[in-house]
Amino acid sequence: MIAIDTGVWIEYINTRGTLHNEAKIVIDSVTQGKATAILTPLTMTEIYYVAERVYREVHAPPKSEKLANKLYDFIYYHPFVEIKPLDYELCLNAGIIKTKYNIAFSDCFLLALSKKFDAIVLFKSVENEMMQNIKELNRHFNLKFLEDYS
pLDDT tens for 31-73 read 999 999 999 999 999 999 999 999 999 898 999 999 999 999 9
**Average pLDDT in the 120-149 region?**
93
pLDDT level of residue 149 (50, 70, 90 thresholds):
confident
| Rounded distance between C-alpha atoms, residue 32 and residue 17, angstroms | 22
Contact 120, 2 (CB under 8 A): yes
Q: Residue 30's pLDDT is what?
A: 98
CA separation for the pair 89, 115 (Å, rounded): 11
* Average confidence (pLDDT) over 11-17: 94
Give the span between the Cα atoms of 49 and 121, in whole angstroms.
21
Q: What angle do CA 93, 133, 123 make, to 5 degrees?
A: 70
Structure confidence at residue 9 (pLDDT): 98
Q: What does the pLDDT average to over 102-111?
A: 96
What digits encode the pLDDT tens for the residues 71-90? 999 999 999 999 999 999 99
Q: Report the CATH number that the domain containing residue 32 is assigned in CATH.
A: 3.40.50.1010
pLDDT higher than 80, residue 150:
no
Q: How many domains does the chain have?
A: 1
CA distance 23 to 29: 10
Q: Give the per-residue pLDDT at 137.
A: 96
Confidence band (pLDDT; 50, 70, 90) for 127? confident
Question: 130 lies in which domain range?
Answer: 2-146
